[in-house]
Structure 1
Amino acid sequence: MMRSNHDSPYRWVVLLLCWAAFTMTSVDRSTWGPASAAVSDSLNVPLAALGIFATCYYIGYVVANAAGGFCSDWLGGRLTLGVTSLVAGGLMMLFGSTTSIGVGLAIQAALGLFAGADFSAGLKLVAAWFRPEARGFAAGVFMTATSLGTVVANAVVPGLIVNSGWETSYHLFGAVTIVIAILCLAFIRNGQYDGTSDAPARRAVPDVRPLRRNRDLLFLGLAGFGGLWGTYGFITWSNTLMVRGNGIDPVDAGVVVVIFAGVAIAAKPLVGVVTDRLGSGRRIPIAIILAAFGVTLLVFGTLDSYTAFLWVAPVLGLTAYAYSPLTAAMTPTLVGQHLTGSAAGAVNAFWQLGSVAVPAVVGPIFQLTDSFYAAFVTLAVGPLIGAAVMLRVRDDRPRTEAEASAARPSAA
């Protein structure tokens, strides 16, 4: 009898490589925050237009999530994750050599297009190799990538800019992304999604029509949209807002964001373990965390000193990231494993629309009002609405029902 994926020690290798790839694309994405002011000076980009670079990235990222999720179910997580990360690393290096605003915007859009498949491909692999009762922890570890990426970018990029220029950070992170992509292609195995074999995944074209009728998935998408509106709006604009709005030193602003994201590295697996142990659903915890996130953003917007920012940053980081492993772990439960990639890609694409819109909204609001607080009120609206919407989602389905759904092949 073949050993189940879920009992194999190799599942930790899969999780490690998925996490490493997701971490590097998160580093690549987060590099724009601390580098944006230097890019503005280098390419003569107006302050209000800086958010357009991030918006171009997230447009590509949204498209890639939907397409990447479908490809993960069709071609397998290994190929989807490895190839798209490989191209994303090359585009990072290319952006570090650009001297044109137009070319830079095009590269950012292409970079988002190839970096956006890592979430759905990684979650597909996690669902294949981990049991439902352990997915909260596995998703928590996997999702530390987004916060760790922010920590690395804000800890490393300001120093690189001072010593070598903003271009060096893009060249360095792009090269590391390429190396990890090659390791993923060499060492990851897809697994079989019934949990009984580690043979290569089937190549049948998935039938995604049931996703359109899944009401809970729609509400989960709306809630995540609001959450990422606040999270990535803060990541994209917090450095510039603290520097330009309150006169904080750029290196000190980077420290605040490092603390903000660093807290989440421990919080994500922890909240996953707690909800796994409780076994009472993830709907209410997600709603509570999103509401707390919105309130903390409002508090942060009232502050005006480096010391105050340091005190609030850990609480803000906890609430800004702790909901993400729960929303990720909830996705396979709502749809079954055979459509996990497509569902994760589709719902994350909708989540990322918040990331697309918010950079282009906050900049003009700050420039028009010259108000630090107005910018943070704008950020807080997203998670507060997300918390209200999350209450419309059902608690997790019973595991037996979810697993039965996963075992049934989709209709041709």
Structure 2
Amino acid sequence: MKAELTAAQGDALGEKLHGHNRYRWGVLAICWLGFTLTSVDRSAWGPSALFIGQDLGVPLASLGVFATAYYAGYVFSNVAGGYFSDKIGGRALIAISLIGAGIFMVLFGSTKSSGVGIAVQGAIGLFAGAEYGAGVKLLASWFRPRELGKVMGIYTSATALGVLIANTIVPRLINAFDWTTSYHTFGSISIVTGIICYFLLRPGPVRIEVAQSGGSRSKLRVLAGNRNLMLLALSGFGGFWGTYGFVIWSNTLMVKERGIDHTVAGLIVGIFAAMGIFGKPAIGWFSDWLDGARRVPAIVMLLMFTAMLIVFGLLQSPLEFIIAAPFLGLAAYCYLPMIVALVPRLVGSAMLGTAAGMVNALWQLGSTLVPLAIGGAFAASGNSFIAAFAALAVGPFIGAIAMYFVNERPEGSRTEIDETAELAKT
């Protein structure tokens, strides 16, 4: 039975969730671990790119093709994975995502051909992209909307942690062994984690209802007609353009154009990423404290991100980069929990997996297009370091403008109790 959530029922739901408190935080921990591993799988490319290019005979200007192939697969599977998470549930989809991505990570570590490597990178992205929408749907079934700031802050900190792990561990694995070791190692861990996820995850009792126009139209058409959701998609596109453009290109640009050792460059990007690990939960918690306000904090972070990218492009020495990295990382990651936490409020539970996958696919288009765009800007400007970072800064600036027009509290939104939900035994 479903019932509109009154004050008394809200208390009842709170008691129900409190009774499963350890398990629901366990769900968050497991989803976070899975998202961390798909983020490591994605971020391993940055510190490995120069060595992979040398091994496979790929010139520097063409290395972006590998990252673009990954993100092309990632974008496609975000839409498909979100749809299937609404159909078959998040547990199975998270397991398939991690196991599939892990298998192809291992295969990429064994490839000897650039053509095969590009195709395998696309396959890694195809499987990895399915995890995100399923994770958001599961978490929104265990936590009420007013709690989702801190929850999505913790969950999305996985993307920053993935970058930190990749940029601290992968260079050391390369020094001790070679670039293939990191792909074999993290691929194997992803496979094991996927199996764990399948046996431990269950959906929760929270359901969010939002009035949708569109009648009998398909889910994607209904969601495409949701003005707030599309503005949110544009805002995330701009943010991801800056964040993942930096992750993909910064190591190579600092090494080639500023003469920084690749291990030091990895340290700089690791510091950048570390701010997301701590900053995302903190700002998510802060937005919960502001009665669930997400829009204004997101705008502030996107504008700060724009400014810091310009500043970073003007720097010269390793010390300057190390000092600037935490400020850039704070801005580059901390808009994300706000925009993720807005999705359930804008669309409701019935289409949440599809919506989360669709908007993340649109966000990831920024990640897909930016490797080639920054490479082109870099080449067209005569290998200008500042021109590359100015091109990155365009993304978050557009994102801030789009976020300004989002209505974060649409009419007709309500939370309900699903008494028939399959709850874990605690």
Residue 298 (structure 1) aligned to one of 303, 306, 310: 310
Does 1:57 pair with 2:63?
no
The 5-angstrom pairing of residues 272-291 of structure 1 reads 272-279=284-291, 281-291=293-303
Residue 180 (structure 1) aligned to one of 193, 196, 206: 193
* C-alpha separation in 1, matches of 2:359 and 2:414: 18
Once the two structures are superposed, residues 12-31 of structure 1 have per-residue CA deviations (whole angstroms, 9 ceiling, x without a partner) of 11111100000000000000
* C-alpha separation in 2, matches of 1:230 and 1:263: 16
The 5-angstrom pairing of residues 123-142 of structure 1 reads 123-142=136-155
Which stretch of structure 1 is more off in the superposition, 30-39 or 76-85?
76-85
Please, which runs of 5 or more residues in structure 1 have no aligned partner? Answer: 196-205, 408-412
Does 1:105 pair with 2:123?
no
Contact 1:248 1:306 in 2 (8 A): yes
Once the two structures are superposed, residues 328-355 of structure 1 have per-residue CA deviations (whole angstroms, 9 ceiling, x without a partner) of 1000000112211111000000000000
* C-alpha separation in 2, matches of 1:93 and 1:207: 36
Residue 207 (structure 2) aligned to one of 182, 194, 218: 194
What is the match of residue 202 of structure 1? none
Residue 103 (structure 2) aligned to one of 67, 90, 95: 90
Contact 2:146 2:292 in 1 (8 A): no
* C-alpha separation in 1, matches of 2:340 and 2:19: 22
Does 1:238 pair with 2:250?
yes
Cα deviation for residue 207 of structure 1 reads 4.3
Using structure 1 for the length normalisation, give the TM-score.
Answer: 0.93
What is the match of residue 374 of structure 1? 387
Secondary structure at the aligned position of 2:351 is classed as helix
Once the two structures are superposed, residues 292-332 of structure 1 have per-residue CA deviations (whole angstroms, 9 ceiling, x without a partner) of 10110000000011000001000000000001111110000
What is the match of residue 330 of structure 1? 342
* C-alpha separation in 2, matches of 1:180 and 1:360: 32
What is the match of residue 313 of structure 1? 325
Identity %: 49
Secondary structure at the aligned position of 1:97 is classed as coil
**Cα gap change, 1:382/1:405 in structure 2, threshold over 3 Å: closer, same or farther?**
farther
Cα deviation for residue 402 of structure 1 reads 3.6
* C-alpha separation in 2, matches of 1:5 and 1:395: 25
Residue 353 (structure 2) aligned to one of 329, 341, 357: 341
Please, which runs of 5 or more residues in structure 2 have no aligned partner? Answer: 1-11, 209-217, 420-426
Cα deviation for residue 83 of structure 1 reads 1.0
Once the two structures are superposed, residues 98-136 of structure 1 have per-residue CA deviations (whole angstroms, 9 ceiling, x without a partner) of 000000000001110000011111100110011111111
What is the match of residue 392 of structure 1? 405
**Cα gap change, 1:406/1:231 in structure 2, threshold over 3 Å: closer, same or farther?**
farther
* C-alpha separation in 2, matches of 1:117 and 1:393: 26
* C-alpha separation in 2, matches of 1:357 and 1:101: 20
Residue 29 (structure 1) aligned to one of 1, 18, 42: 42
What is the match of residue 200 of structure 1? none
Cα deviation for residue 401 of structure 1 reads 2.1
* C-alpha separation in 2, matches of 1:65 and 1:280: 26
Residue 368 (structure 2) aligned to one of 343, 346, 356: 356
The letter of the residue matching 1:115 is A
The letter of the residue matching 2:177 is S
Residue 258 (structure 1) aligned to one of 242, 262, 270: 270
Contact 2:378 2:388 in 1 (8 A): yes
Contact 1:90 1:178 in 2 (8 A): yes
The letter of the residue matching 1:272 is G
* C-alpha separation in 2, matches of 1:404 and 1:8: 17
Which stretch of structure 1 is more off in the superposition, 316-325 or 358-367?
358-367
What is the match of residue 241 of structure 2? 229
* C-alpha separation in 2, matches of 1:83 and 1:254: 31
Secondary structure at the aligned position of 1:281 is classed as coil
Contact 2:205 2:417 in 1 (8 A): no
Contact 1:85 1:118 in 2 (8 A): yes
* C-alpha separation in 1, matches of 2:230 and 2:80: 18
Residue 72 (structure 1) aligned to one of 58, 82, 85: 85
Secondary structure at the aligned position of 2:407 is classed as coil
* C-alpha separation in 2, matches of 1:397 and 1:140: 22
Secondary structure at the aligned position of 2:314 is classed as coil
